[in-house]
Amino acid sequence: MYRRYTTDMLVSRLREGRGSMQIVLGPRQSGKTTSVRQAIDELGLPFVYASADSPVPFGPEWVAQQWRAARQQGEPSILVLDEVQKAQGWPEQVKAEWDADTWASRDIRVVLLGSSPLLVERGLTESLAGRFETVRSTHWTFAECRDAFGWGLDTFLFHGGYPGASRYLDDHDRWRAYILDAIVETTVSRDVLLLTRIDKPALLRRLFGLACEYSGQELSYRKMIGQLTDAGNTTTLAHYLDLLAGTGLVTGLQKHSSRPVRRRSSSPKLLVMNTALMTALSGARFEEARSDGALWGRIVESAVGAHLFAVAQRAGGEVRYWRDGPSEVDFVTVRGRAVTAVEVKSGAVTDYRGLEVFRSRFPGSDTLLVGAGGTPLEAFLGGTA
């Protein structure tokens, strides 16, 4: 079984003893539970595993029950609570149990998993400050899919990085059904609609479809309202886009600016976090997508953006875009004071003026060209660049 970076992080941290809770955050089908199981197998400690992923929400007593079971395992032991954000009142109950163990000097090492990072993080900041570390489980990269499944670049670009879908690659209809039913519908229905008040659930679903259709493109909220019936106001759309981003499906990148107010007021650049979402909703088969230059170009750009986004999540950075009149660059990565403008060229176009203008506007920034005339796409996504 393939071993991701998250397994090594968990093994290292859990071996240190009971220092902080380990919070594993990431979208569905990114291998969170598998990584925890691999870490537990390697450590060889007694453990209790329980999942709150149920159509009927559990209450805080569920957390207390699992904690009592872990204490009965002896010390040291490991307690794993999966999909913890679905248990009502979980932050307060986790805090109470953790503090009780601290007071009694019990060595119960706790791992919490959640497929809705936005909702989990809200609970963490409300009640558990100073008691946890996070482990970010991102979508699988091309390098991981290549090493685990032997995928080529085009296979990854079209099918995205969902390891569970790898068994269906030879049957497009089954693969597409898996993406739409097991990932999209499950995430929207159980990670968003059941846990957050959504006044217009149909609008949220249409917004998701629009983000997939326009992935890699800047789209103002006004234009979104024009394409979405019963869209309400821009505040509602921005909120729903944040919720979708919190589940690891799609996001809206902010425009890069040295002034935070201008960033927040900018039109978002829509981006899928996994190109499988884009291609599955498009309805195009692989041969059709590969022969459509415009569609394939957007798939390539979205794959680069998703890769940059995954790297930023692991490293604690941001991904934005930049445009000023006719000058633009596809992506801007920001980590501390380090700023890099990234331009993606999937065809033979060799116009680099956007990078040049960006560098003149933001002295000290770096530039990176991916594709034709720059770092080969396969090397960039494969981690050899």
CA 369 to chain centre: 24
Kindly state the average pLDDT of the residues 131-141.
93
Quick one: pLDDT at residue 126? Answer: 74
Q: Please give the Cα distance from 180 to 249 (Å, whole number).
A: 12
**Model confidence pLDDT, tens digit, residues 63-76:** 999 999 999 999 99
Quick one: pLDDT at residue 201? Answer: 87
Query: How many CB atoms are located within 10 Å of the residue 87 CB?
Result: 24
Phi and psi for 82 in degrees, rounded to 5?
-95, 145
Quick one: pLDDT at residue 265? Answer: 65
Whether 123 shows a pLDDT value over 80: the answer reads no
Whether 78 shows a pLDDT value over 50: the answer reads yes
**Model confidence pLDDT, tens digit, residues 21-66:** 999 999 989 999 999 999 999 999 999 999 998 878 899 999 999 9
What is the pairing mode between strands 327-335 and 318-324? antiparallel
Nearest to 162 by CA among 179, 147, 177, 176: 179
Q: How confident is the model at residue 261 (pLDDT cuts 50, 70, 90)?
A: low
**Model confidence pLDDT, tens digit, residues 337-375:** 999 999 998 776 667 788 999 999 999 999 999 988 889
Q: Please give the Cα distance from 175 to 155 (Å, whole number).
A: 13
Tokens of 119: 């909702």
User: Please, what is the angle between helix 234-246 and helix 201-213, to 10°?
Assistant: 70
Q: What is the CATH number of domain 5-136?
A: 3.40.50.300
Kindly state the average pLDDT of the residues 1-18.
94
For residue 346, the surrounding DSSP H or E stretch is none
Quick one: pLDDT at residue 48? Answer: 97
The DSSP secondary structure of 186-234, one letter per residue, reads HIIIIIIITTS--S-HHHHHHHHHHHHHTTTSB--HHHHHHHSTT---H
Kindly state the average pLDDT of the residues 110-118.
84
Whether 246 shows a pLDDT value over 90: the answer reads no
Q: How confident is the model at residue 385 (pLDDT cuts 50, 70, 90)?
A: very low
Q: Measuring CA to CA, how many Å separate 375 from each of 32, 157, 317, 334, 383?
A: 31, 17, 21, 20, 11
Looking at per-residue pLDDT, the higher value among 223 and 291 belongs to 291
The architecture of the domain spanning 142-381 is 3-Layer(aba) Sandwich (3.40)
Quote the mean pLDDT of the chain: 91
Domain 5-136 shares a fold with domain 142-381: no
Kindly state the average pLDDT of the residues 249-253.
94
Nearby residues of 8 by Cβ (< 8 Å), 6 or more positions away: none
Quick one: pLDDT at residue 384? Answer: 47
CB 45 within 8 A of CB 77: yes
pTM given for the model: 0.90
Whether 263 shows a pLDDT value over 70: the answer reads no
User: Lowest mean pLDDT: which of 115-119, 241-245, 347-351?
Assistant: 347-351
Tokens 């159980």 found at: 190
> What is the residue extent of each domain of the chain?
5-136, 142-381
Quick one: pLDDT at residue 115? Answer: 79
**Model confidence pLDDT, tens digit, residues 137-175:** 999 999 999 999 999 999 999 999 899 999 999 999 999
Quick one: pLDDT at residue 24? Answer: 94
Kindly state the average pLDDT of the residues 333-339.
94
The DSSP secondary structure of 91-146, one letter per residue, reads HHHHHHHHHHHHHHT--EEEEEEES-HHHHHHHHHHH-TTSEEEEE-PPPPHHHHH
Omega before residue 76 within 30° of 0, cis: yes
What is the pairing mode between strands 269-272 and 366-371? unpaired
